[in-house]
Amino acid sequence: MAEVIDGKIVAEDVVQKVKALTADLIAKGKAKPGLAVVIVGEDPASQVYVASKSRTAKECGFHSLQHTLPADTSEEALLKIIGELNADPAVNGILVQLPLPVHIDAGKIIQAIAPQKDVDGFHFINVGKLGTGELETAFVPCTPAGSMLLIERVRGKDLSGLNAVVVGRSNIVGKPMANLLLAANCTVTIAHSRTKDLPALARTADILVAAVGRPEMVKGDWVKPGATVIDVGINRIPAPEKGEGKTRLVGDVAYAEAAKAAGAITPVPGGVGPMTIAMLMANTLASAYLAAG
């Protein structure tokens, strides 16, 4: 059976390190790192994520600001808030929770965030730095950055020559994940909905990352024996066995089957999920260190 990669433990390690380095920064007379989280509308999942981000920021000793805006907020009003946060020296990181309501152009909002405060790593400048291997100064998107830490926990830092297959080509996870693995000298393939014979391709992977948002799509016989399986999916599905109307969370990987073949695997929940928030704190701290000089 596979080793279960406990994301809660690794994330807590990261948070404790961020907390200690924040205390150091403050002891040196520098300002607290500041994180501004902006949420537009009432998407319940987004509200849970945002509350958790703000809570962890406070736990790290950050200055934590939250803008909760009504669903009918105009693009112009949101751009104005971003402009103010860009200019606010107490703010080192700005995160606009996605998805945004459809009347707002999310691309325009993301590109309006100052690249040096783009702790989500979604601005073209940061995407470009990651794509060209300028990892020292890039903000890397939190979920793939956290997934890399989990991979390194089980495989060590040297991933050179390993075959990596990333299933999913989103800008938030799939593409940056592939770039990180490439920067780590893996041989990387990005698979997507048009990929031919996905099970056979997946079986070539020493590192298999699933980030498609399809419950339990990756089956046990897609997993090469001994592979490291990283499940980025968080899907809520009906769970009639728990009672009428009940649901449960599953990943993009059929966990029980995959765990029989894998060398190591992340569970859902408790795998990649906790890493996303921890890496957001790490990015905000890095931004504060850069600003403090």
State the catalytic residue, choosing from 32, 117, 118, 120. Answer: 120
How many Å apart are CA 210 and CA 217, to the nearest integer?
9
236 is in an annotated binding site: no
Phi, psi of 182 (to 5 degrees): -65, -45
Q: Exactly one of 57, 96, 104, 227 binds ligand GUN (CB under 6 A); which one?
A: 96
SS (H, E, C) the chain: CCEECCHHHHHHHHHHHHHHHHHHHHHCCCCCCEEEEEEECCCHHHHHHHHHHHHHHHHCCCEEEEEEECCCCCHHHHHHHHHHHHHCCCCCEEEECCCCCCCCCHHHHHHHCCHHHCCCCCCHHHHHHHHCCCCCCCCCCHHHHHHHHHHHHHHCCCCCCCEEEEECCCCCCHHHHHHHHHHCCCEEEEECCCCCCHHHHHCCCCEEEECCCCCCCECHHHCCCCCEEEECCCEEEECHHHCCCCEEEECCECHHHHHHHCCEECCCCCCCHHHHHHHHHHHHHHHHHHHHC
Q: Which is nearer to ligand GUN, 178 or 259 (CB)?
A: 178
Is residue 4 near ligand GUN by the rule CB under 6 A? no
Is residue 147 near ligand GUN by the rule CB under 6 A? no
Active site annotation includes 66: no
Least distance in Å: CB of 127 to ligand GUN? Answer: 14
Location of structure tokens 């495989």: 155
169 is in an annotated binding site: yes
Least distance in Å: CB of 139 to ligand GUN? Answer: 12
Q: Exactly one of 21, 117, 120, 266 binds ligand GUN (CB under 6 A); which one?
A: 120
- Site map for ligand GUN, 250-289, x if CB under 6 A? --------------------------x-------------
Least distance in Å: CB of 41 to ligand GUN? Answer: 12
CA atoms within 13 A on the CB side of 214: 9
Q: Which is nearer to ligand GUN, 172 or 272 (CB)?
A: 172
Is residue 143 near ligand GUN by the rule CB under 6 A? yes
Phi, psi of 288 (to 5 degrees): -65, -40
Is residue 181 near ligand GUN by the rule CB under 6 A? no
Active site annotation includes 120: yes
Least distance in Å: CB of 153 to ligand GUN? Answer: 21
Residue type, 118: D
Q: Exactly one of 94, 140, 142, 234 binds ligand GUN (CB under 6 A); which one?
A: 142
170 is in an annotated binding site: yes
Is residue 172 near ligand GUN by the rule CB under 6 A? yes
Is residue 98 near ligand GUN by the rule CB under 6 A? yes
Active site annotation includes 97: yes
Q: Which is nearer to ligand GUN, 120 or 206 (CB)?
A: 120
156 is in an annotated binding site: no
Residue set of the binding site for NADP(+): 168-170, 234
Binding residues vs ligand GUN (CB under 6 A): 95-98, 120, 142-143, 172, 276
